[in-house]
Amino acid sequence: MKYARYFCLVVAVVSAAQARHPVRARNAMVVAQEPHATDAGVSVLKAGGNAVDAAVAVAFALAVTHPTAGNLGGGGFLLARMADGRTAFIDFRERAPEKATRDMYLDAAGKPTGDSLQGWRASGVPGTARGLEMAHKKLGRRGWAELVAPAVGLARDGFVVSYALAESLRRAKRLAEFEESRRIFQKNGAYWEAGERFKQPELGATLERIARDGARGFYEGPVAERFAAAMARHGGLITAADLKDYKAIERTPLLGTYKGYQILTAPPPSSGGVGLLQMMGVLEGLGFEKHGAGSAAATHLVAETMRRFYADRSEHLGDPDFYKVPVTGLISKSYLARIRESIDPHRATPSDQWKPGSPAREESAETTHFSIVDAEGNAVALTYTLNGGYGSGVTVPGLGFLLNNEMDDFSVKPGHPNLFGLVGGEANAIAPRKTPLSSMTPTIITRGGELFMVVGAPGGSRIITGVMQVILNAADYGMNAQEAIDQPRFHHQWKPDKLYTERGFSPDTIELLRQRGHDVETNTTGVALVEAIIVEGRGKDRWLAGGTDRRAHGKAAGY
C-alpha cells in the first residue's frame, strides 16, 4: 500500500479493559509526540511562561529530538486563544521559491518526475523560525533565548535514543541517499541503537545563532549564506533572497459552531479548517450519533460526508493570496443542506459519480502536532511539518537540519495524486512565492465562552478526518481525551474510492459497510496521530485531561 512507505504507525486495538485514562493536571498541560519536547514545554510553564512561550520551546526541541517531522527546515501553523478571548493564527507554511515554475516537476512527456518528493529541488522556503518568532513577539512573555535554550542543550549535549527513534532512523531509506543525512542520522550505516546518546553539534550551533539573533540568524548571515550556497551547488532553487524575503503571515482564524460548541480552526492555505466546518456542519443534521460510536450506520454517514468534502477540496482550495477560495460558500447553511440531502443513509455514492460542488463564491505523512494549555487558560494548537517522513531526505551540510519536500503538496499536475493520494487542481498549481495547500488542522474548541478542547494531528490527508473523529467522540459520545483518541478511526478522501479502517472494527461492521457499497481496506496504517487536551469541570473541580495517541510514542504531562 502506498501510504505505508511514509507512515510507520503501529495501530493498537483498544478494548474496554485496555482503555487508558488521560493524564490529568490542575494547572497546565503539554501533549506532544516526543517526551523530551513535552518536558521542555512543561519546564517553561513552571518557570512562568505562558502557552505561547511553551510552544516555542516545544517546537524547537522537536527539531532536535523528533527529526522525522520536528524541524527548522519546514513550516506550519500556530493557533492561539488567550484567556481574555484574543485569538491569533500564524501561517508559517513553506513557500515556493522565486525560481519555481508551473511545470517544474514534469518531464518532456508531461509526466511527473518525482523530484517533488526527494532531493534539493523538493523544498519550499522554510518558515518555522519566522513563525515562532512572530507568535512570541505578539503573545509571548519570556525571553527568546531562554525558550530556545532547551533545544540547544538537547542538540549539544545529546539525548538518549529511544527504541522507536532508532527503528525509524534505520528504516528511513531516503536519509541513506544523501551523505550528510546518512552521516548524522544513520552513523554512515552503523545506525543508532536504543540507549545511545545522540549529539548534533551542527544543529546546536544553528540553534545557538537563532537564540542569539532571533529568526534573522536563520534567514540572514552565515546560516542563510551557507544554506543558499549548498542549494546552488546541488541544483536547488532556494536563494539567499528567498530566505531574506520570507515572512510569516497572520491570518484570521475560521470560526464555526457545532451543537453549542464554538470551533476555532485553521483558514486557507489550510484545507483543514474548511473541511472540519463543512463536514461537521453536514453531520450536525444527519443524526449519525444515534447509531453509536463505531457502528456501520454511523461510519457510513460520516464516510459519505468525508467523500463530499474531499471532492470539493480538489477544486476549490488553494493559497488565498493567489486564488479566491469560496470559504463562505463551502460552509454556508444552504450548501451544507444540499450536501446532506445527497447522502443515501443505506448506500455509498461511487466517487466517479460525485463531482466537486458549486458553492457560492462571494466572500464576506510527515507532520507533528502539540497542544498546550497554561495555568491562566491560554491555549495553543501548533502543527508543523517536513511533509513526508524526514522531508526531502536532505540535511544542509554544516547546519544540521533536514529540509522539507513540501513542493509535492502543490498540484504538480492537475488531476495527478500527490504523496498522500490527494488529487488537486489549478487552484493549487505551482507559482513563485505561493503556499501549497495543507491538511493541517490545529483547532481550539470552546463551550459557553470557556475553553473545552485543544486538538490537532499529523497524518497528511488523514489529519482532517482524524481530528474530526476525536472531536465527535468527545462532543457526541462523551468520551474523555484518551478514550476519544484510542477509538479506532476511518478515512475516506473521495479518490481513491476506498474506505480505510484501522484495526478494531468488528468483522460484522466491515461486512455491513461492504453491503452498503463501500470498498473497505482494513488494517490501514493509521488515521492521523491526534494529540488533545480536554478541560473537565469548572472552578475548583477543573482538571486538564491530556490524551496522547498510542499509535505513536508521545507524552502528556502537566502540573
- Using an 8 Å Cβ cutoff, are 391 and 74 in contact? yes
- Using an 8 Å Cβ cutoff, are 548 and 555 in contact? yes
Q: Could you give the CA distance from residue 132 to residue 129 in angstroms, rounded to a whole number?
A: 5
Residue from 399, 254, 383 nearest 327 by CA: 254
Residue from 224, 229, 258, 222 nearest 243 by CA: 224
With left for phi above 0 and alpha for psi between -120 and 50, is residue 134 left, alpha or beta?
Answer: alpha
Hey, is 420 helix, strand or coil? coil
- Using an 8 Å Cβ cutoff, are 228 and 243 in contact? yes
Q: Position 507: which residue type?
A: P
DSSP codes joined into one string, 423-446: ---GGG---TTPPPPB----EEEE
Q: Annotated catalytic sites, by residue?
A: 367
- In whole angstroms, how far apart are CA 86 and each of 83, 109, 264, 542? 7, 52, 12, 22
Q: How many residues does the chain have?
A: 559
Instruction: Measure the CA angle with vertex 410, ends 407 and 415; round to 5°.
Output: 135
Q: Could you give the CA distance from residue 340 to residue 311 in angstroms, rounded to a whole number?
A: 15
Beta bridge partners of 270: 438
What is the pairing mode between strands 520-521 and 499-501? Answer: parallel
Grid cell, residue 443, equals 483547532
- Using an 8 Å Cβ cutoff, are 523 and 541 in contact? no
Q: At a CB cut-off of 8 Å and minimum separation 6, what does 258 contact?
A: 280, 281, 284, 471, 475
